[in-house]
Structure 1
Amino acid sequence: MKLLLPIIFLLCLSANAQQDHEFTIYFDSDADVPTEASKAALAEWMESNKNAGIHTISGYTDTIGNTEYNRRLSIRRIQYLIFRLNAGYMRKKWKMMSYGETQYTSGTDAENRKAVITYTKQQKTVTSGLTQLFKEARAGEKIILRDINFVGGTSFIVEESKPILKELYIIMRDNPKLKIDIQGHICCSADDTGDLSKRRAMEVFVYLHSNGINGDRLSYRGFGGSKPMHKIPERNKEEMAENRRVEIEILAN
């Protein structure tokens, strides 16, 4: 047990260098669901911190029970929060720290039965103008996601495109009546080998749906190279980039 303490201490130092706020949720003895008071506090925190940048979720227990049982109990407490938070936050940046009884405060057992979210408060969302386009659009109109790019010849979205996906998610989250059709297009050839345009549109669908947007509000399809903005073969890289696009058709708003 003692051998773990220096590692845990270093991990905490590394995390604290990046965070400036903590939110604590409390649990009853042997429970992996928060107390009723903490459930209400969590709902209020989520409503007030929709754009928070979460860095770590740490689980703790009291010292009742054996060490391994308490380690698993702290994991279940973390998993409860993952389920609640998964829809609105950038999960890929989270660290899960399951401490069980190996690190606890000097307070009472009730104070040690907890999970702690460390976060950057109210991160400012940088918009690309997409939000304004959606505000002005009507049913039947189309919006091009100009900053969505893929690894060449694949449906893998490049890391630099993640902010525009996040913005699209926020638009869908904040406009619950909005329904869209995600449409993929390719460049360079009318022949869509491997249904690439559809798979690229599906990647956007999967991102939105996995982050909590109801599938009834989303559809997707691929048009291959059948609806180019510029005649194929294109004359330059700029025309290729404009043909190789993802469009959003507004179905209802």
Structure 2
Amino acid sequence: MKKVFAVCLMFLSAALQGQELTLFFDFDRCDLNPTAQTQLQHWLADHPNVEVTKIYGFCDWKGSNHYNDSLSIKRVKTVLAYLQEKNILVQQGYEIKGFGEDFPQSKVQSENRKVIINYTQKPQKPKDSHLSEQISQAQVGDKIQLTRIYFANMTARILPQSLPVLQDLLCALEEHPSLKIEIQGHICCQLVYDINDLSTRRAQAVYNYLARQKISRKRLSYKGFGTSKPIYTIPEKTPQEEDANRRVEILILEH
């Protein structure tokens, strides 16, 4: 298990050198547009344990220098307020700066209206390394259930409390570079086979998380089974049986 944690530290070491997130703003606006809000939501879901070190604001060349300097700072303050609302750690003595239009401008004006967040991500040891042990001992054809994967009701949106097990799976894939898996989604309660294809979309959500963390897509696949492979007969008799049927598993394809 020390080996698993060591691999996680190696995988995340680059993050300690500092990373950047760029958000783009609409013309002459300092509020977060829907695209920027969605980008921030995905960033927060995929990057637990971040610490913000710098926030820089930028504008295009239209307008006076004084106006653009003020607008770039307003954009910085908008982002800072969002991060503080989400309880994101901002480094003591963090640096904020508005460049206005005084920077090398892109010919594409929309690319100049932005805020850049500089951050580091501290490695976090998975709270429960039982999954890593299971994967290390698994054979081709074995199935392993991903416990504590939570989704918003009737959606494929992964909830933040699922991150520890996702990180554990990520570390196991990094430790075993030849490992290939199929992510399998299952749902409960429906007598008709997965009307909204929810099981497939949930399996795909786990697949997308791993792909965003730079796991090769050649090592990953996903499939939804709806209610075709329940652990307990549907309709389930208890909430516990519903929880057991509502699950995400991984099938070991190559090890």
Gaps of 5+ in 1: 1-21, 26-50, 61-65, 73-91, 103-114
Higher-Rg structure is: 1
Deviation at 1:174, TM superposition (A): 2.3
Q: Which residue of 2 aligns with 1:156?
A: 157
Residue matched to 2:209: 207
CA distance 1:93–1:143, change in 2 (3 Å): farther
Gaps of at least 5 residues in structure 2 are 1-15, 20-46, 57-64, 73-86, 101-115
Give the structure 2 partner of residue 225 of structure 1. Answer: 227
| SS of aligned partner of 1:193 | coil
Q: CA RMSD in A?
A: 3.7
Residues 31-63 of structure 1: per-residue CA shift (max 9 Å, x gap): xxxxxxxxxxxxxxxxxxxx9944124378xxx
Distance 1:205 1:54 in 2: 22
Q: CA distance change for structure 1 residues 130 and 93 in 2, over 3 Å: closer, same or farther?
A: farther
Deviates further, 120-129 or 196-205 = 120-129
1:164 Cα shift? 1.0
Q: Deviations over 1:52-106 (max 9, x none)?
A: 944124378xxxxx9989xx9xxxxxxxxxxxxxxxxxxx95869663779xxxx
One-letter amino acid matched to 1:168:
L
Indicate yes or no: 2:169 matched with 1:168: yes
Q: Is the counterpart of residue 196 in structure 1 residue 198 in structure 2? A: yes
The alignment of Structure 1 onto Structure 2 pairs a total of residues equal to 172
In the TM superposition, residue 125 of structure 1 has moved relative to its aligned partner by 3.2
The residue type equivalent to 1:144 in the other structure is Q
**Distance (Å, rounded) in 1 between the aligned partners of 2:158 and 2:130:** 20
Counterparts of 1:174 and 1:93 in 2: how far apart (Å)? 29
Give the letter aligned to residue 230 of structure 1: Y
Q: Offset at 1:124?
A: 3.3
Shift of 1:189: 1.8
C-alpha contact 1:52 1:122 (8 A) present in aligned 2: no
- Does residue 1:177 correspond to 2:170, yes or no? no
CA contact (8 A) 1:155 1:203 kept: yes
CA contact (8 A) 1:52 1:119 kept: no
Q: Is the Cα contact below 8 Å between 2:126 and 2:167 reproduced in 1?
A: no
Deviations 1:123-163 (A, max 9, x none): 43322411111011011100001211212211112221121
In structure 1, the residue corresponding to 2:147 is in which secondary structure?
coil
Deviations 1:180-211 (A, max 9, x none): 00000010124201101000101000111011
Output the TM-score relative to the length of structure 1.
Answer: 0.57
Q: How far did 1:172 drift?
A: 1.4
Match of 1:99 in 2: 97
Distance 1:235 1:137 in 2: 32
Listed as ranges, the matches of 1:1-253 within 5 Å are: 53-58=49-54, 99=97, 122-191=123-192, 192-253=194-255
Q: Which amino acid aligns with 1:99?
A: K
Residues 154 and 117 of structure 1, relative CA distance in 2, 3 Å threshold: closer
**Counterpart AA for 1:197:** S
Query: With structure 2 as the length reference, what TM-score do the two structures score?
Result: 0.56
Identity of matched residues, %: 38
Q: Take 1:212 and 1:231, find their aligned partners in 2: how far apart are those partners?
A: 38
Q: What does the per-residue CA deviation read over 1:222-243, in whole Å, with 9 as the maximum and x for residues that have no partner?
A: 0000000011111100000000
Output the CA distance in 2 between the equivalents of 1:170 and 1:242.
Answer: 25
The CA deviation at 1:169 is: 1.4
